[in-house]
Amino acid sequence: MAPSKTQIAIVGGGVAGLVTATLLHRHGMDVRLYEQTPVFGAVGAGIQLSLRS
C-alpha cells in the first residue's frame, strides 16, 4: 500500500496562516485552513504581499 500523503492543518486565517497555507500548497502539501471568523473585513491599513510563482 502506498504511504498516505501528510495532511497539514493550519488554525487561523490571518496573514500568517494564509501565507503559510499558500506556500505549503504551492509545494504540493495537502493543507486545510481553519478560520473561526465567518466573514473577513478590513480592520487597518492595507498590506500588500507579493509572492513569486
Ligand X SMILES: Cc1cc2nc3c(=O)[nH]c(=O)nc-3n(C[C@H](O)[C@H](O)[C@H](O)COP(=O)(O)OP(=O)(O)OC[C@H]3O[C@@H](n4cnc5c(N)ncnc54)[C@H](O)[C@@H]3O)c2cc1C
The answer to the question of residue 30 lying near ligand X (CB under 6 A) is no
Of 2, 39, 42, 47, which lies in the binding site for ligand X, with binding defined by CB under 6 A? 47
Kind and range of the H or E run holding 22: helix 15-26
Q: How far is CA 51 from CA 22, 26, 33, 35, in A?
A: 9, 11, 19, 22
CA distance 37 to 7: 22
The answer to the question of residue 35 lying near ligand X (CB under 6 A) is yes
Of 39, 45, 49, 51, which lies in the binding site for ligand X, with binding defined by CB under 6 A? 45
The answer to the question of residue 1 lying near ligand X (CB under 6 A) is no
The answer to the question of residue 13 lying near ligand X (CB under 6 A) is yes
